Amino acid sequence: MKKLLIADKLHPIFKEEAQKFGYHVDDRPEITRAETLAIIHEYTGIAIRTKFNIDQELIDAATSIQFIARAGAGMDNINLLAAEARNIVCINAPEGNQDAVGEHAIGMLLSLYANLRKADIEVRDGIWDREGNRGLELKNKTVGIIGFGHMGQSFAHKLSGFEVEVIAYDKYKSGFSNRYAKEVSMEQIVKHADILSLHIPLTRETQQMVDDEYLFHFKKPIILLNTARGEIVNTAALLRAIKQGKVRGAGLDVLEVEKFPALDEIEWFNELKKSEKVLLSPHVAGWTVESYRKISEVLAEKLKLIR
Ligand SMILES: NC(=O)C1=CN([C@@H]2O[C@H](COP(=O)(O)OP(=O)(O)OC[C@H]3O[C@@H](n4cnc5c(N)ncnc54)[C@H](O)[C@@H]3O)[C@@H](O)[C@H]2O)C=CC1
Ligand SMILES: O=C(O)C(=O)COP(=O)(O)O
């Protein structure tokens, strides 16, 4: 019997579709890693989001597994090399949350340009400071996108009504200029960007990529948007760049550490909280009412193909 373990919160449509393909499905969104480790040998496949890592130990224990289904985009919590060595098929569903991420990045950018967080707090506190909350317009600004995959392209597309110049750099892709973005070198991004938006995966190469040195070279004070992965940005370096005026503001949907109470103990987090120039959200850029269902639909379509 083909058995599928759903080890995270997925829309019920995924279970329904998998059953139609002949799977016996155990939907256990609350299951822990330790519990999964103990029973994973019974399963043909596992579906997960980012609750825990599918690491070498889990893959070794998964003696009957044929596929890993990632209900979302980022595969950094899966040991892809270990999976490949066992011929385990890995599928993901970035088409399900790319609209959500593109819109979230737009929302963060507009909020930062219009000082909305600060202005809202002030008005509630009885402060009517029009001059101190004078905003910036997106029109005629240059938006630099790093990584032109599903998320980068979605953001570029969503920007198309704002009369901005969109330039994009992708280290592993070329020939991708289109009506929404112009392909450029990293040097061009550094020279021209007013806004820098990260849409790359977390890899050994991109971990801590945005550090003091990276931020130093930008010619204009930038807005940094990170809806990719927290570990790509060195937050202490970002805070220093904000203090030096190299970074005008930052919209961070993801953080280097994403769990309370661990976050409260970290010095950079306490500084981040105090900064008026930073806008935070709890890793929800790709998590909307719509994407919740779309991700599962896309994943089920891909599951059908690997039957
Ligand atoms: N905050 C959230 O809720 C969400 C976050 N994400 C994050 O966004 C990331 C990107 O997702 P997708 O666009 O679907 O991935 P993708 O694989 O479609 O595109 C990523 C692009 O980045 C490029 N790239 C890789 N390393 C690079 C480097 N060092 N410099 C420049 N370009 C590089 C690749 O060539 C690729 O074209 C995911 O890995 C995930 O971590 C994705 C969805 C939701
Ligand atoms: O799709 C992604 O890469 C995401 O970051 C979404 O995260 P999640 O699956 O909701 O924990």
Helix (H) or strand (E) holding 6: strand 3-6
For 75, half-sphere exposure in the C-beta direction (CA atoms, 13 angstrom radius) is 14
Share of residues in the chain with pLDDT > 70 (%) = 100
One-letter amino acid of 72:
G
Q: Are residues 86 and 109 in the same domain?
A: no
Q: Is residue 197 lining ligand 1, measured as CB closer than 6 Å? A: no
Residue 78 in any domain: the answer is yes
CA 264 to centroid of ligand 2, rounded, Å: 23
Predicted local distance difference test score (pLDDT) of residue 307: 59
**Which of 50, 76, 173, 199 gets mutated to test ligand 1 (max ligand atoms within 8 A of its CB)?**
199
What pLDDT shows up at residue 211? 98
From CA 63, how far away is CA 41, in angstroms rounded?
5
User: Is any ligand 1 atom within 6 A of the Cβ of residue 231?
Assistant: no
The angle formed by the CA atoms of residues 89, 91 and 95, to the nearest 5 degrees, is 165
Give the total number of structural domains in the chain: 2
pLDDT digits (tens, 9 = 90+) for 113-170: 999 999 999 999 999 999 999 999 999 999 999 999 999 999 999 999 999 999 999 9
Mean pLDDT over each residue of the chain, to the nearest integer: 97
Nearest to 270, CA basis, from 239, 306, 294: 239
Phi, psi (rounded to 5 degrees) for 140: 70, 5
Does residue 289 fall inside a structural domain?
no
Distance 72 CA to ligand 2 centre (A): 5
Has this prediction a pTM greater than 0.90?
Answer: yes
Q: How far is CA 125 from CA 28, 120, 153, in A?
A: 45, 9, 39
Average pLDDT over residues 198-206: 98
Average pLDDT over residues 228-252: 98
pLDDT at 247: 98
CB distance 282 to 102 below 8 Å? no
Q: Which pair of structure tokens corresponds to residue 114?
A: 């219009």
Does 296 fall in a domain?
no
Residue 147 and residue 79 share a domain: no
**For residue 271, pLDDT beyond 80:** yes
Render pLDDT for 50-105 as a digit per residue (tens, 0 to 9).
999 999 999 999 999 999 999 999 999 999 999 999 999 999 999 999 999 999 99
Residue 27 lies in a domain: yes
Ligand 2 atom index nearest CA of 229: 5
Ligand 2 probe mutation, 90, 287, 294, most atoms within 8 A of CB? 287
Span 39-48, pLDDT tens digits = 999 999 999 9
Round to whole Å and give the CA distance between 35 and 32.
Answer: 5
| CATH code of 260's domain | 3.40.50.720
Average pLDDT estimate for 275-287: 97
Structure tokens at 284: 């929800």
Provide the 8-state DSSP code for 63.
T
Q: How many CA atoms lie within 13 A of 142 on its CB side?
A: 18
Determine what percent of the chain is predicted with pLDDT higher than 90.
Answer: 99
Q: Per residue, what are the HEC states of 182-240?
A: EECCHHHHHHHCCEEEECCCCCCCCCCCECHHHHHCCCCCEEEEECCCHHHECHHHHHH
pLDDT attached to residue 306:
86
Whether the bond between 282 and the residue before it is cis, its omega within 30 degrees of 0, is no
Ligand nearest to the CA of 254: 1
What is the model's pLDDT at position 118? 96
Task: Show the domain range for 102.
Answer: 98-280
| pLDDT exceeds cutoff 70 at 112 | yes
